[in-house]
């Protein structure tokens, strides 16, 4: 081995990056998982893995029966159909299918036998609380951020009643119904004792602020968040624009909370697919540039759904230090695009980024989402540090550990604390 691919201990950069990335526990900054205290809201196990909406959409490519026949089935009957068509009748090469196999393998199960019955039998014996710990351990995830909506009728009562928090699960206050459907949401909020009307006058806005303060406190929210349609405009005097400008951003500013934006989703492109029926479209970055520019004292965390928006979003992050980019979300969460996005981000904005979040909806999914992404991020980092070594700059183990910790949630924690 030449000097250039060795550190002091004689270990090459490739092996060192692999060791550090595989040994660094992640803070998963956006998921749809729940603190175990939420009981059945936390999904886990083989039937939830197989009926994940990514797989439902893929299965319908092959199904030849009416949509409604599928939705009439029980969850395990749906899982049977998906297993049959996506794993037995065709090889499971798609990312979401491969993810199921990586997950089962990570849990120590044999997938070669293609025996769904024995997988189900094993799952039925698991204790939910221990299962959460096992998944986090295998995935090397130290902390999980949930997505928490006061507008969710199943979730809200749990918060209102109160419960002992699991310190591994932190909260994010999700406010889509308020920003995207004020006409209906204001009535719901009025029913909870907030003196709000359809008109966004001063007194209504101050009550919205009180609502945001109450729920941020109740949840100990790390940030507020919304998923925005590609048509989002700023500035804009719609209810959404007014609420963001006059309630959400002042609330976030005064409490030092980032506002996380997830733009690009087109809801219900095919409503017959239900939750699997959302699509995407490009957005116009100029709206976001105006938003970041007008609010230098607000912090924004953004992940974009469309591959076509990724480059300009990276460039925006070079212009606005109040913007933190995170994750490869949903349709971009495939190795080919994660690779492209991760390299582009490292090359344009260095280590001031969170390359991945899992977006897991089923507890077990953290295993594959992190395993697959760790592999892609490892390869990108090996190339970056190898390029540095060619100049004579050899990164030390301590520097490597610092950098990787930042990429796996540390940089985001610093951004939140700023």
Interface residues with Zn ion (CB under 5 A) are 359
Nearer to Zn ion, 82 or 260 (CB): 260
> In whole angstroms, how close is the CB of 361 to Zn ion at the nearest point?
8
Cα(82)–Cα(237) distance, integer angstroms: 45
> In whole angstroms, how close is the CB of 359 to Zn ion at the nearest point?
4
Look up tokens 């299918």; give the residue: 97
Structure tokens belonging to residue 137: 């351990």
> In whole angstroms, how close is the CB of 333 to Zn ion at the nearest point?
10
> In whole angstroms, how close is the CB of 32 to Zn ion at the nearest point?
6
Contact in structure between 28 and 349 (CB atoms under 8 Å): no
> In whole angstroms, how close is the CB of 409 to Zn ion at the nearest point?
16
Nearer to Zn ion, 47 or 359 (CB): 359
Cα(264)–Cα(191) distance, integer angstroms: 31
**Integer angstrom CA distances of residue 145 from 64, 142, 221, 269, 283:** 38, 10, 9, 28, 26
**Residue whose C-beta lies closest to Zn ion:** 359
Nearer to Zn ion, 359 or 364 (CB): 359
Nearer to Zn ion, 48 or 359 (CB): 359
Nearer to Zn ion, 146 or 249 (CB): 146
Nearer to Zn ion, 119 or 305 (CB): 305
> In whole angstroms, how close is the CB of 16 to Zn ion at the nearest point?
33
Q: Which of 277, 203, 263 is nearest to 232 (CA)?
A: 263
């Amino acid at each position: 081995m030449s000097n250039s691919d060795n550190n002091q201990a004689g270990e090459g950069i490739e092996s060192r990056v692999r060791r550090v990335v595989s040994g660094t526990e992640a803070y998963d900054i956006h998921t749809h998982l729940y603190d175990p205290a939420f009981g059945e809201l936390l999904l886990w196990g083989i039937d939830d893995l197989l009926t994940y909406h990514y797989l439902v959409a893929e299965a319908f490519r092959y199904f030849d029966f009416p949509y409604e026949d599928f939705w009439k089935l029980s969850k395990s009957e749906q899982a049977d159909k998906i297993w049959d068509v996506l794993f037995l009748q065709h090889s499971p090469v798609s990312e979401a299918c491969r993810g199921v196999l990586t997950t089962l393998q990570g849990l120590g199960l044999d997938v070669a036998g293609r025996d769904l019955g024995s997988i189900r039998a094993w799952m039925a014996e698991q204790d939910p609380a221990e299962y959460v710990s096992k998944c986090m351990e295998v995935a090397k995830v130290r902390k999980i951020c949930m997505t928490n909506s006061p507008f969710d009728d199943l979730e809200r009562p749990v918060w209102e009643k109160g419960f002992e928090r699991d310190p591994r699960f932190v909260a994010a206050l999700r406010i889509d119904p308020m920003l995207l459907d004020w006409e209906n949401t204001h009535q719901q909020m009025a029913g909870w004792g907030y003196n709000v009307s359809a008109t966004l006058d001063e007194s209504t806005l101050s009550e919205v602020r009180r609502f945001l303060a109450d729920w941020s406190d109740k949840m100990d929210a790390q940030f507020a968040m919304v998923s925005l349609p590609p048509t989002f405009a700023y500035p804009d005097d719609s209810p959404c624009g007014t609420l963001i400008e006059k309630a959400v951003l002042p609330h976030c500013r005064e409490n030092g909370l980032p506002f996380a934006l997830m733009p690009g989703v087109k809801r219900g492109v095919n409503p017959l697919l239900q939750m699997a029926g959302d699509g995407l479209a490009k957005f116009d970055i100029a709206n976001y540039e105006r938003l970041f520019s007008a609010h230098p004292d607000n912090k924004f965390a953004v992940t974009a759904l469309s591959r076509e928006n990724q480059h300009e979003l990276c460039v925006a992050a070079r212009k606005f230090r109040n913007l933190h980019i995170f994750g490869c979300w949903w349709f971009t969460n495939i190795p080919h695009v994660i690779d492209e996005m991760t390299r582009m981000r490292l090359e344009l904005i260095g280590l001031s980024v969170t390359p991945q979040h899992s977006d897991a909806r089923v507890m077990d999914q953290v295993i594959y989402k992190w395993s697959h992404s760790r592999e892609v991020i490892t390869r990108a980092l090996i190339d970056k540090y190898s390029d540095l070594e060619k100049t004579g700059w050899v990164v030390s183990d301590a520097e490597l550990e610092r950098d990787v910790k930042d990429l796996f949630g540390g940089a985001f924690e610093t951004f939140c604390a700023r």
